[in-house]
Chains A and B, each alone.
Chain A
């Protein structure tokens, strides 16, 4: 593994950060009253991106020893990494600005926020393109990978935002039902994308088939089935579905409405779901990097 756990964590954090930014922008339009959720998304986004970049810097040993060299990252426009460096730079500038305005309790310039939204999507996609353009690794070299990473970025972004919001103030997570519905559909789409990717890619050539085999029944199958599929995808899909059914029931009875308004019911379900989505998000990146089998050249 040339790129290991550190890079997996970086890819995960970049997606999570972009997803949190997008979540908070959506919340600020759809639920103006859900201040905690909005603020949480805006605060965690630049912090998580910053941690991700630190990991990247630590992994780039030569740059770590000579930090001025990082300026060269902006020079090669034929490299996806250079393009990504620009995306992340603009995204982080916008993210910091929005977080600062939130901190100072000032109005956020909506155009800067829109720029942030564009580059957040760019950042999430770039993490997929970064490894997607590597023809040497057939598991990565597929058009579906950037889409999978974007869906996972949005899903982990929502999870991270709701998890921290829930810890700060447990009433708020029940106010944002549409976010939960979006979240549930994203998880379902993710299952479909992973299935499609594995099925199609495994037929493309030997190296790809080997990659998929190592995940489905080989070296990484335990992590794949237990951590990614069961904990990271199925568990949150089940809990979230039950929660949405429960929410509907509660809104249909008087007692339910009172309980909801008082915020006295448990948010354990939410915390468990969001935590498992985050675990799944990281595991997805880790497995995609770990199961990379390069093409045979002999």
Chain B
């Protein structure tokens, strides 16, 4: 049993959207639907300013708020800590979309099912990397087992002092370097 997680280095991200496109390809999403959303913020005071780019997707929260509000138990967490939606159980009530602190969920209007990043469970089961990770041109994304202290991702999180977006909103499994 693993506890899969990711580290995203915002200093390396150039905002090329390659991860978003590869995610759309992997999950066969229509153009207007994406599991990865880009947010840009400016910090600092002139002349010491910086523009940060955040690629935000499902943060795979521990005790995920979307899971506890889902009335049909369509949202669940796998043994490996990946938060998933069972498309056969989802009624499309959108309660999870309202509850998600990261606005990481979108509704597929063809099926009505609410979807989000799945950490590419199928690829990961084959021992491969999620599509967004393997496609990243600047290797800004590292994926692996957070419970394994020797995994590349665990080491990188410690090395770069990566942190969740908002620690006060509960534990998540995506860490950001700023």
Residues on A close to B: CB < 8 A? Answer: 2-3, 56, 59-66, 69-70, 72-73, 75-76, 78-82, 85, 131, 133-137, 294-295, 297-298
Contacts and interface: CB of A to CB of B under 8 A. Distances in A.
A2 B97 contact: yes
A121 to B, nearest CB: 21
A75 B112 contact: no
10 contacts: A2-B97, A60-B91, A61-B111, A72-B89, A73-B71, A76-B68, A78-B68, A81-B95, A82-B71, A136-B101
A190 B61 CA distance: 38
Given A62-B112, A79-B70, A298-B41, 17 more contacts: A59-B92, A61-B92, A61-B112, A63-B93, A65-B111, A69-B90, A76-B71, A76-B73, A79-B95, A85-B71, A133-B69, A135-B99, A136-B99, A136-B100, A295-B101, A297-B165, A297-B169
A134 B72 contact: no
B144 to A, nearest CB: 23
B90 A62 contact: yes
A134 B111 contact: no
B54 interface: yes
A192 to B, nearest CB: 27
B98 A69 contact: no
B72 A72 contact: yes
A294 B105 CA distance: 14
Given A73-B72, A76-B73, A3 B101 contact: no
Nearest to A4: B94
B109 interface: yes
Q: Which of A59, A79, A80, A85 has the most CB of B within 10 A?
A: A79
B15 interface: no
Interface residues of B, number: 37
B98 A137 contact: yes
A295 B169 CA distance: 10
A66 B74 CA distance: 14
Given A2-B97, A134-B98, A298-B54, A63 B73 contact: no
A173 B95 CA distance: 40
A276 B28 CA distance: 49
B91 A73 contact: yes
Interface in B81-109: 87-95, 97-103, 107, 109
A63 B99 contact: no
B95 A294 contact: no
Given A72-B74, A82-B71, A294-B103, A3 B89 contact: no
Interface in B54-84: 54, 56, 65, 68-74
B107 A61 contact: yes
A62 B69 contact: no
A136 B170 CA distance: 12
B132 interface: no
Given A72-B74, A297-B101, A298-B54, A63 B92 contact: yes
Contacts of B157: none
Interface in B127-163: none
Contact of A69 (B70, B91, B94, B169): B91
B175 to A, nearest CB: 14
A133 to B, nearest CB: 7
A11 to B, nearest CB: 13
Contacts of A75: 71-73
A2 to B, nearest CB: 5
List 5 A-B pairs, minimum CB-CB distance, nearest first. A61-B112, A63-B91, A62-B112, A62-B92, A72-B72
Nearest to B75: A76
A298 B70 CA distance: 25
A136 B166 CA distance: 12
